[in-house]
Every structure is written in C-alpha cells, then in structure tokens.
Amino acid sequence: MIADAAFQLFLNNPFESVSVDSIAGHSEISKGTFYYYFKSKEELLGYVICRGLEQLSSKIQEQCVSLDNLHEALDVLIELQYHYYRSYHQLVIFLLRRQDSDSIADDFLTSIKKNYRIKQELIAGIIKRAMDTGYIIKGDEYQITRGIENTIKGFSLGDMENRHSEEQGRDLELIKRIIFDGLLI
C-alpha cells in the first residue's frame, strides 16, 4: 500500500518534490506508520525499484522464457523492458545519483543489484537459446543482453518528458527494427 502510493507519486512528480507527508497521505497512514516500515523516503525508493525489478523478472519468466517462438519471446521481452524503463526512468536515475550516499541502505542496494542480475540471467538465457538455434548471431549472451538493454534504455530514458502513446509506440517499433533487422540495408 505504501509502495503503491509512493510509486504513483514518484511516477508523476520529481522524487525531490514528493514528501513523506504526501506519501503517508496518499497511503492513508500516519507519518509514524511510514517510519515504522521505512527509515526514509530514499529507503522506500530502493524498495519500490527492487519490487519493480522483481515484477519485471516474473513477467519475463512467465511471458518469455517458456515461449518456443524465439521471435515472439524477444518481441515480448523488448516490450516488457521498454515499459519498465519508461515507468521507472526517473527513479532509476535518482537512485544512480544517490547510490554512493548513505541515504539508501546497503541491503536495499544489494537487493536491487541481486534482482537486476536475476533479470539479466533470464534474458541471457533467452539470448543463448536464440544463438544455439541459429536465430541470432553468435556471441557472448551477456554482451548481447547488455546491447539490447542499452538500446531500450537509450530510447526510454533518453526522452524525459511525457510523450503520447503513439510516439512511444513508434519508438518501440524502431527499437524492434534496430534489434531484429539492424540499420544497414
């Protein structure tokens, strides 16, 4: 409940402008209850990002890993990651800026890194399967995973203003064309 309210507030406002009071108000709890569960707004941020990565990994596992059609698995994978980064871009950028400060507990940073590695392992498994069947070029599956992810991040994080869904749809189609077909004719 607290995390859901915070995510909605973080999604629609810069992190710095969201107060503990506003999170408590949107969660319909007292400020004391907030502090019972979280030491700070930054700790809550770590929890929200970690939970988002867990949800993304679950979706990848459920919707991509078991698909026999590798094109469809990669297509769904691209969409899932694109939507994750579009939703979480402000939070991820803020976390990256603050990760060396003491405001975010080490256990949350460790948990975020662990969940990120789990996600990467799932994706690398799909990439390896695609390489083994000759569907995509041979190479290091982790390097290809990073390349695909960085292409997606570049589009989803590079545009910080809210955009219309039709523009996002065009971006998503271009990402897929770049990944599936490349740029050269």
pLDDT digits (tens, 9 = 90+) for 116-128: 999 999 999 999 9
pTM (2 decimals)?
0.86
Between CA 172 and CA 92 the distance in angstroms is 20
- List Cα–Cα distances, 21 to 14, 130, 153, in angstroms: 15, 49, 32
Question: Would you put residue 14 in left (φ > 0), alpha (ψ -120 to 50) or beta?
Answer: beta
Distance from C-alpha of 129 to C-alpha of 3, rounded to nearest angstrom: 36
Percent share of the chain, pLDDT over 90:
55
Q: Is the pLDDT reported for residue 156 higher than 80?
A: no
- Supply the angle between the helices 106-132 and 70-98 in degrees, to the nearest 10: 160
**Shortest CA distance to 123 belongs to which of 75, 71, 60?**
60
User: Which one-letter DSSP state was computed for residue 17?
Assistant: G
Backbone φ and ψ of 140, nearest 5°: -80, 120
Tens-place pLDDT, residues 15-47: 889 999 999 999 999 999 999 999 988 889 889
Cα(44)–Cα(65) distance, integer angstroms: 30
Give me the DSSP letters along 101-151: STTS-HHHHHHHHHHHHHHHHHHHHHHHHHHHTTSS--S-HHHHHHHHHHH
* pLDDT at residue 14 tops 80: yes
Q: Fold for domain 1-37?
A: Arc Repressor Mutant, subunit A (1.10.10)
Q: Where are the domains of the chain?
A: 1-37, 49-181
> Which architecture characterizes domain 49-181 according to CATH?
Orthogonal Bundle (1.10)
Using the predicted structure, report yes or no on whether residue 108 has a pLDDT greater than 80. Answer: no
Inter-residue contact 121 to 59 (CB < 8 Å): no
